Structure 1
Amino acid sequence: MNRIRVLVFGATGSGKTSLCNVLTGRTRPTDSDARGVTSRSHSYAPFEAQGQRIELIDTVGLHESTEGTVPADKAILELVELLEKARDGFSLLIHVTRATRITKEHEDDYAFFVKKMTQGRIPVILAVAGCENEHPMGAWVERNRSAFASYRYRELIPCCFASGGPLESHYVPLREQSREALIASVVRNALLEPEKIYGGETGSSFTDALARIWNEFVEIAGLPEKYRKNVNESAYELMKRMGVPKTLRDAAVAHIPDLLQELGNKLPVPFLGRILKFVAGKALGAGK
């Protein structure tokens, strides 16, 4: 049985978690149900469909730091954790958007995940949520197909993830139709084997991958300028500029992530201990 690893990304509130719930048949609530926001990336337990073993990785929205739902330090931690989950590579990307106009957030997400993070090496499909009021459900996609011509989407899939309320009987068959269409598209477009973005024979390390996307993430997430990595600046120097004590920087270079977390937790910076644990564990302090 083939393993298909799928990275799901999209703007805040676009329906990423709802898509994952529909595909897996399980219900994982967002961290803020009122706003439909997921503030942590999440790997779902694999499920089987069409003879394939499919694993979904749901990502936090890149703009959630600017919208106040994710603190800056936690947003950085999310980026590092996301790269950690990318260790085994991905077979397919699913970009989730809503049936509205193309926004800057949509463009930013596509540029970050498709062009920067995975460097165009992994196929991507577009899932368009909010199509339940169209007749037929694919009408919006057909009317706006030309607007997506410049993107490298293999397919555009109209979807309904809505549930509950007086229209639930209307939503049920549309959700099932969406699930069938998405699974068929996943199986049709996924790579035969997950493509790694670092490690193995890629010639790229975790450090290389993080350096490639770091500044773009800082800009998209609206993080303070101090988080931006300067040209030719090592991670050790970046930590120094951010005010991380020398003992912690040296510990990072020495690859002692547990010690870093213990010491970092004593500093008045949210999540610094956990951030430095990841940083040290992946040799981000190289270049002392």
Structure 2
Amino acid sequence: MAVTAAQVKELRDITGAGMLDCKKALEQTDGNVEAAVTYLREKGIAKAAKKADRIAAEGLCNVIIEGNVAVIYELNSETDFVAKNEKFLSLLDSIGHIILTSGVENTEAAMQVVSNGKTVETLLAEATATIGEKITLRRVQRVVKADNQLFGSYKHMGGRIATVAILNGGDDAVAKDIAMHVAAQKPQYLDQTQISADFIAKEREVLVHQAMEENAKEAKPKPQNILEKMVEGRLNKQLKDICLVNQPFVKNPDETVEQYVKNNKAAVASFVRLEVGEGIEKKDNDFAKEVMEQVRA
């Protein structure tokens, strides 16, 4: 019988399984939703739904490069212990190669890529059921360079932080140095031309208020023109701190990143930095309480 979109949605809401898995289950059970739930449970796919509300804020980031294309991505688990598991590490590698060869450029598209008859979404659901923790693909970015450019990549602590940089000129050692610096110093922008006028205006406003409050407490307040110069000085320092080219080079703080690459006949074209769990609000779990609740259940 023909499976309707409404049936697929109903089964997906119940089990949390992927759309293609739900469609296949309904086809195998002649559209019987209850039987389809059992089918998915037997396949180990529906078990992932029980973990759907958990927070996966651990895991690893990775970079895979092939020719002029790189993919940098984050695969999450609930605990760092699982992130060291061989099954997780194997999944991390295979997912990366699937993404790289597929040509997709973002997470949403990556989830629907099919490999050996299964979507990435299905592979993650199966891994969740097998490993016993919620496994999610959170961020995917595709990076492409020109033939005359160089990739530099770096992973810190096995992938807690992963970076990829593109250089014009230089050599592989310089490119890796820049990727390592990005991992260590966490720049937000390449240079000040990338910073929006709104961001600068808001930061200036904050610094003005800070300077006025400080000045009000002074026994001998500074004149307005001095305050304005002080604010601009603080603002310029702040903007330099968040721009890669202006940061002191991590291997030699006596020169900036811009000076370092220039001395090596290179220039930084772009960079991407991922750190595990950025922006995720983690739960403070009371494990003793959780265990006791399970014992009473």
TM-score by length of 2: 0.21
- Of structures 1 and 2, the larger Rg is shown by 2
Bigger strand share: 2
TM-score by length of 1: 0.22
